[in-house]
Structure 1
């Protein structure tokens, strides 16, 4: 099976494809740093750095499946106040339609946040896919059900050139605790009690300690897991594009580090990311969890 990866980002879809023995022939993203990172991890793939809404699909090699993760920022509830650029972000989904129109690819897997189906133009987008002969089956999947130590619900639209929508038969894997990927011997720890620590943080830690003991994880900002954080014996909450999760160990704490976030997303320890913490976390927070992509593609092949 040959795939192309649209909006490839850090390469979670492509990495999952590799694990499923699917060859990713071509991958594209508009961000040069993302393309460079994808190239480092997938040197066998042909790469393009471009705005996919301006793509010449004649130059894209033949393939059996399109993997696509159009921008989610305009749909996500975490986006905050509606802003003018959100329209431009949402419109990236039309690149999937234009690619499908030219290639008539047998299968397409589109990943986004569940709120994608609430987009004002989603009915029009869906109609366009139907007009091209695609039956579309929405699947809302939690990465924790695919062996990733993170609860991360995402929408996967399985689009096939078939009479009826294709419902994938996906095995529900055992949940993994976040505690098994935390590096407790890290040197990044800082005292919890220190000048300048916010009262909200201290109260959240106190509540978490009362519920979970000395070791737990807690959202450092936003309403994440409420006021008590969550146990290290269950998957962590969603990894976002910026630092969100704090690790607490007794009287010390620190933010989740990139090697831990990488494992919490289902990437291997050897997977290459940008050297700067900020850029690496941004790419991880936008990525598809590779084990989830792997399971979807294995099930898609089995159903074909």
Structure 2
């Protein structure tokens, strides 16, 4: 790796890509996002970087270049929800998908040696994906792309994402996935909270508990036994019964509040939702990475949209070595 790799993070979110690049030895100098909680988090974690709160389309790359100087590595996680099967053809989806072309616009002016674009794997099926790659190739970039799963990078959650890596000087490669992570749900329970944090543990069986929740709990207890704690999974579509063991990496973290920790109690079982700091720990964020002073819902949205830092660190190390 060269002496300093100056990094700009488009669609920076809570700063997962920049945190990973920093872990790999790069220096974040700029981050851009249109959402206030995201830029609040980014500026808190990277105070020496310039943070722009605006749409990428509203910022002229030349202004950014004048503000921060040369950029060696451009990171980007364009809007991804419109690539999902559920949203596919809804109004506005194509406009959302086309935020990927902002990467081309910035690359044309900033001329970074390297680019890393992270997105959901469905991006590969986007009708303009090949056109988008061609525009980057026309700027002189060699391109490789592949899917990486965070649970193979010492991270306590499964998360498959597409990584597109670009290099002006040579054909880039992606890191090789290692063995399944030894990090599990057990490793993240209680992370980031005071030892005596007042979590709201409530009995699973209460008069107002939703029937679907009770059914999930019953299936888990029947499968795992009465004495085994587990994670109850809401909004799942994988046919796994709505629960998982705690000696496995957490299932993919989304923008929804979907994981509850359930454990045996004197009268049966009690439960609580996983905390944002626990979810951040599962994603591989270090304990010192700060979340913004905002609502629980917004914190979970930030984490659910984030890039796993350890995966990005491996990508940047492989790309720039």
Q: Deviations over 1:118-158 (max 9, x none)?
A: 11111211121121121211120001111110000000001
Partner of 2:243: 229
Matched residues in 2 for 1:270 and 1:169: separation? 26
| Structure-to-structure mapping, 1:1-304, within 5 angstroms | 1-60=5-64, 61-77=69-85, 79-80=86-87, 82-162=89-169, 165-170=171-176, 172=178, 174-175=180-181, 176-183=183-190, 187-213=199-225, 214-224=228-238, 226-250=240-264, 251-275=269-293, 276-302=295-321
- CA shift in 2, pair 1:190/1:295, >3 Å: same
Secondary structure of the 1:74 match is: helix
- CA shift in 2, pair 1:219/1:171, >3 Å: closer
- Tell me the CA shift for residue 117 of structure 1: 0.8
Structure 1: gaps (5+ residues): none
Matched residues in 1 for 2:166 and 2:262: separation? 43
Between the two proteins, the alignment pairs up a number of residues equal to 300
- Tell me the CA shift for residue 82 of structure 1: 3.5
Matched residues in 1 for 2:128 and 2:236: separation? 29
Q: Normalised by the size of structure 1, how large is the TM-score?
A: 0.93
Secondary structure of the 2:158 match is: coil
User: RMSD between aligned alpha carbons?
Assistant: 1.8
Contact 2:234 2:242 in 1 (8 A): no
Matched residues in 1 for 2:36 and 2:221: separation? 43
Secondary structure of the 2:307 match is: coil
Matched residues in 1 for 2:118 and 2:73: separation? 13
Secondary structure of the 1:123 match is: helix
Secondary structure of the 2:243 match is: coil
Matched residues in 2 for 1:102 and 1:192: separation? 56
Matched residues in 1 for 2:320 and 2:244: separation? 37
Larger mean Cα displacement after TM superposition, 61-70 or 83-92 = 83-92
- Tell me the CA shift for residue 88 of structure 1: 2.3
Secondary structure of the 1:254 match is: strand
Instruction: Could you list the structure 1 runs, at least 4 aligned residues long, displaced by more than 4 angstroms after superposition.
Output: none
- Tell me the CA shift for residue 102 of structure 1: 1.6
Structure 2: gaps (5+ residues): none
